[in-house]
Amino acid sequence: MFKSWRLGSLFGFPIEINLSFLLLLGLVLVAFGGLMGVFVVCLAFASVVLHELGHAIVARKLGVHVAGIELGFLGGAAKMVNLPRTWTHELMIAAAGPAVSLMLGGIGIGIGVALGSPFIAMIGWINLVIAAFNMIPALPMDGGRVLRALLVPKFGFVRATDIAVAVARVAAVGFVVFGIAAEMYQLLI
C-alpha cells in the first residue's frame, strides 16, 4: 500500500494523507485545472475530513475505537479498530457522516444564496454530492452499512451482509453500464 503522513489531529483523531492523495493533487494540477483545481479538491477533501469526523465522533461515543482518519485518492476513511456492538450502533455511525455532509451542504448553500456568493454555494453543493454519493447502498460505503444495519434485525448479521454485498454488486454493474452508455452517447453526438 501507499505510505501515509500525519497532518495533525482533530478532536484527538490523527488526520493522515496517503501518497495516493498527493498523486490526485498532482493529476489535478497537471490535467484538470491547475492551482485552482487543486484548491477546489482541497476544499472538497476538507469536507471529507468533516464527514469522516462525524463517523469518528459517533463511533467514539458508542465505544468503537477509531485509530484516525485517512485521506486517499478516492476519498477518506475513519479507521475503526473494532466493529460496532449492535446494528443500531452501526446505523448511527454510518449515518453520521452523511448527516454532517447534509448539514454542511444546507449551511453552505444557504449562506451562499444569502450573500450572493456562488463560491460558498459551491462548497454547499460539494457537500450534498458527498452525502448523496456516500449513501449509495453499496458496501463498504455508508449507504451499504446503513442497508446492512437495517437488515440485521430481520435476517441476522451474516445474511444481512450477504444481501448488502449482492446489492453492492448490482450497484457496481449499474455504474459500469451507465459509464459505457454515457461513453457511447458521447461518441454518437
What residues act catalytically? 52
Lookup: cell for 22: 498527493
Q: Distance between CA atoms of 113 and 123, rounded to whole angstroms?
A: 12
Cell 457522516, residue located: 97
Tell me how crowded residue 1 is: count the other CB atoms within 10 A of its CB.
7
The residues, any chain, with a CB within 8 Å of residue 6's CB and separated by 6 or more, are 14, 15, 16, 68
Lookup: cell for 79: 479507521
Asked if residue 98 has a cis previous peptide bond (ω within 30° of 0), the answer is no
Q: Using H for helix, E for strand and C for coil, what is the string for 25-38?
A: HHHHHHHCCHHHHH
Q: Distance between CA atoms of 100 and 93, rounded to whole angstroms?
A: 11
